[in-house]
Amino acid sequence: MLFHKLAKVFEKVESKSGRLEMTGLLGELFREASPEEAERIAYIVEGELLPPYMGVDMGMGEKFVLQAIADGSGYSRKEVDKEFASLGDLGLVAEKLLSGKRQQSLHSEQLTIAYVYSALMRIAKASGHGSQDEKIKRLVELYHSAKPLEAKYITRFVLGQLRLGVGGPTILDALSFSEKGDKSLREDLDHAYNLCSDIGFVARRFKEHPHRMREFRIEVFKPIMPALAERLASPEEVVKKLGRCGVEQKYDGFRMMVHKKGGRVEIFSRRLERITPSFPDVVGEVEKLKADEIIFEGEALAFNEKEGRFYSFQETMHRRRKYGVEEASGKYPLHVYVFDLHYLGGKDWTGRTYLERRKELERIFPRGNLKLGEMKVVDSAAELQKLFDKALEMRLEGIIAKDLDAPYTAGKRKFAWIKLKKSYGKSVDTVDALIVGYYRGKGARAEFGFGGLLVAVYNEKKERFETIAKVGSGFTEEEMGKFAEELGKMRAKNAPADLDYRMEPDFWVKPKTVVEIAYDNITKSPVHTCGEEEGKGFALRFPRLVRVRDDKGPYDVTTVKEIRDMYREEAG
Ligand code: ATP
């Protein structure tokens, strides 16, 4: 299949924001694609070459792309820089200048998707001494054969700026459409995707055997999408919903999924990044486990051995580092509270009940710093309240009640797990939101150059981000300085492509950082777009910063549906 076909679809997608239209366009493409092409299309649409946990990075900054455009188009570097200053988007610069190529290539040929994919892969893989020249050379080769429209999207892809606003759910819908003309295979596709988190792999398998997605099984070293907890406000509601249930403490650390097979151990974060190199101590403990082939999940907390207590979440996060690993592991030894089992001895355990999984965990753990938290089966609100109070006394976040009969609900927020947390201020819970912009400081804050954040939550149905608060308090002076510095580096000319907003900040930023926000209650406001109905969206009243959530990515923020549920809950 020609790459031009894909570029044409991108062009149309860019001008339409309706999810149904995008699904139709992509669906047609998938219908015509071979399994291998479908795999590549799925990755490219997501702005990736392989699933993120494989850690493939293009490693090309603006400077090198500017050079490649100059070399590929025959314009001088000065002329290219000038165009960039006026257009503000290197994709547009490439499109414009390459349409007037001064050096017409003699060897230009029509680009196929397979060719572009492998050329991009070669660019990504070039590393070490002289790699920048190699990357530029390969990109220039691509430009020589590319039509202007193709050059625009190749450029944006290389810079990680494709941002079409097409997420995994739309790709899965499109695959279903390509086979059935409707969404009827979506659930089967979800099942497969949640068990491997690899959109390209799913697309390829689907094209090979569209009706065998249900047979999909978990594999070691392919992290699955983590199960998510619902929230309820009181022990009574939890017992009403679940009846007899298993109660565990909710540890406030960071989540890890641990894979082991033969002599190899890998650790993945909640965002499915490979974080193994930061945790040699955990790897050591896992190597000693009797189980030879296992995937389990737990919450890691740094332990202060001198004082016999856990460090705070912020202190624990010191362990998530790439450098100075040894020193950090000496200073902040980790304890991992194991809470679930996904795979054991060649068998997928995600379909078994929580009680079965827990019993098996009890057989395998504890082991050194890999331990199992307490679990109590209760059937009354009074017992649940006691466990909740005890957790708070131990300075934990709260508890998680688990449905004894539920399978592991990969990638879904279901009532298999319900969290009950201590309340901050008057609200029952906090909200995790994406920073999309920030404000210049006024008055006393002018010296920090920082006056607050504009934050957004995620509308899963629309696959768009929607603003919910302007956060101006909860910052220490040190934090204000840090935000100003970090966000200053992330400034963007325009609002994120997949954001719906009415309020404009002083500066837009690349949407990457997630923050946890406490608030008093949820109200309706005409300035925010979250779950908007009749011109009013949900807004947080008295929002204040709790902390940065480094362990979460943009798509892990609170959803509009959760906000709506919380609003109704508050209203009684
Ligand atoms: P929160 O923002 O409330 O910390 P979250 O948004 O990270 O939660 P949720 O799905 O809302 O994710 O809540 C489940 C989280 O609680 C898991 O991500 C996990 O990291 C953590 N956790 C702590 N203790 C447990 C436990 N015993 N069982 C399951 N999850 C636990």
Task: Return per-residue pLDDT of the chain as tens, 572 residues.
Answer: 999 999 999 999 888 767 788 899 999 999 999 999 999 999 999 999 999 899 898 999 899 999 999 999 999 999 999 999 999 899 999 999 988 664 455 556 789 999 999 999 999 999 888 899 999 999 999 999 999 999 999 999 999 888 787 888 999 999 999 999 999 999 999 999 999 999 999 999 999 999 999 998 999 999 999 999 998 888 999 999 999 999 999 998 899 999 999 899 999 999 899 999 999 999 999 999 989 999 999 999 998 878 877 888 878 888 887 888 888 888 888 999 999 999 998 999 999 999 999 999 999 998 788 999 899 999 999 999 999 999 888 878 899 999 999 999 999 888 999 999 876 444 557 899 999 999 998 877 777 789 999 999 999 888 899 999 999 988 888 888 899 999 998 998 889 888 999 999 999 999 999 999 989 889 999 999 999 999 999 999 999 998 999 888 899 999 999 999 889 877 76
Residue 85 alpha carbon to ligand 1 centre in Å:
45
Residue 252 alpha carbon to ligand 1 centre in Å:
8
Q: Which two tokens stand for residue 463?
A: 């696959």
The CA distance from 244 to 406, in Å, is 12
The CA distance from 407 to 415, in Å, is 11
Substitution candidate for ligand 1 out of 224, 231, 251, 557 with most atoms within 8 A of CB: 251
Whether the CB of 229 sits within 6 Å of ligand 1:
yes
Closest C-alpha residue for ligand 1 atom 13: 229
Tens digits of residue pLDDT in 442-497: 877 777 789 999 999 999 888 899 999 999 988 888 888 899 999 998 998 889 88
Tens digits of residue pLDDT in 371-417: 998 999 999 999 999 999 998 888 788 999 999 999 999 998 889 99
Closest C-alpha residue for ligand 1 atom 22: 250
Class of domain 228-421: alpha beta
Q: ∠ at Cα 530 (529, 532), nearest 5°?
A: 65
Substitution candidate for ligand 1 out of 224, 225, 228, 432 with most atoms within 8 A of CB: 228
Question: Which CATH topology does 429-571 take?
Answer: OB fold (Dihydrolipoamide Acetyltransferase, E2P) (2.40.50)
Residues of the chain with CATH 3.30.470.30: 228-421
Q: How would you classify residue 165: left for phi > 0, otherwise alpha for psi between -120 and 50, otherwise beta?
A: left
Whether the CB of 551 sits within 6 Å of ligand 1:
no
Substitution candidate for ligand 1 out of 419, 432, 565 with most atoms within 8 A of CB: 419
Which distant-in-sequence residues (6+ apart) come within 8 Å of 363 by Cβ? none
Residues of the chain with CATH 2.40.50.140: 429-571
Which distant-in-sequence residues (6+ apart) come within 8 Å of 551 by Cβ? 254, 255, 269, 270, 271, 317, 320
Residue 200 alpha carbon to ligand 1 centre in Å:
28
The CA distance from 285 to 216, in Å, is 30
Substitution candidate for ligand 1 out of 231, 339, 340 with most atoms within 8 A of CB: 339
User: Which long-range contacts link 302-307 to residues 24+ away (Cβ below 8 Å)?
Assistant: 302/253, 302/332, 302/333, 302/334, 302/335, 303/332, 303/333, 303/334, 303/335, 303/369, 305/333
Counting from 1 in the atom list of ligand 1, the atom nearest the Cα of 421 is: 3
Site of tokens 């690899």: 198
pLDDT at 101: 65
How many other β-carbons are positioned within 10 Å of the β-carbon of residue 81?
15
Closest C-alpha residue for ligand 1 atom 11: 229
Question: What does DSSP assign to residue 138?
Answer: H
Counting from 1 in the atom list of ligand 1, the atom nearest the Cα of 254 is: 20
Phi, psi of 62 (to 5 degrees): -60, -40
The CA distance from 100 to 9, in Å, is 23
- Which strand ranges, in their side-by-side order, compose the sheet holding 536-541? 521-525, 536-541, 530-533
> Which residue out of 250, 402, 421, 552 is catalytically annotated?
250
Counting from 1 in the atom list of ligand 1, the atom nearest the Cα of 516 is: 2
Residue 473 alpha carbon to ligand 1 centre in Å:
25
The CA distance from 148 to 146, in Å, is 6
Whether the CB of 342 sits within 6 Å of ligand 1:
no
What string of DSSP letters covers 448-490? GT--EEEEEEEETTTTEEEEEEEE-BS--HHHHHHHHHHHHHT
Whether the CB of 299 sits within 6 Å of ligand 1:
yes
Q: Taking each helix axis from N to C terminus, what angle separates 199-208 and 186-194, rounded to the nearest 10 degrees?
A: 130
Whether the CB of 250 sits within 6 Å of ligand 1:
yes
Tens digits of residue pLDDT in 332-374: 889 999 999 999 989 999 999 999 999 999 999 987 889 998 9
Residue 219 alpha carbon to ligand 1 centre in Å:
23
How many other β-carbons are positioned within 10 Å of the β-carbon of residue 181?
11
Residue 420 alpha carbon to ligand 1 centre in Å:
10
Residues of the chain with CATH 1.10.3260.10: 3-158
CATH code of the domain occupying 3-158: 1.10.3260.10
pLDDT at 566: 87
Closest C-alpha residue for ligand 1 atom 20: 255
Whether the CB of 419 sits within 6 Å of ligand 1:
yes
Is residue 183 among the annotated active site residues? no
The CA distance from 135 to 127, in Å, is 9
SS3 503: coil
Whether the CB of 251 sits within 6 Å of ligand 1:
yes
Counting from 1 in the atom list of ligand 1, the atom nearest the Cα of 556 is: 6
Residue 218 alpha carbon to ligand 1 centre in Å:
22
What is the sign of the dihedral through the CA atoms of 158, 159, 162 and 165? positive
pLDDT at 425: 41
Whether the CB of 339 sits within 6 Å of ligand 1:
yes
Counting from 1 in the atom list of ligand 1, the atom nearest the Cα of 229 is: 10
Phi, psi of 533 (to 5 degrees): -140, 135
Residue 373 alpha carbon to ligand 1 centre in Å:
14
User: Which CA distances in Å does 382 have to 56, 389, 419?
Assistant: 51, 11, 16
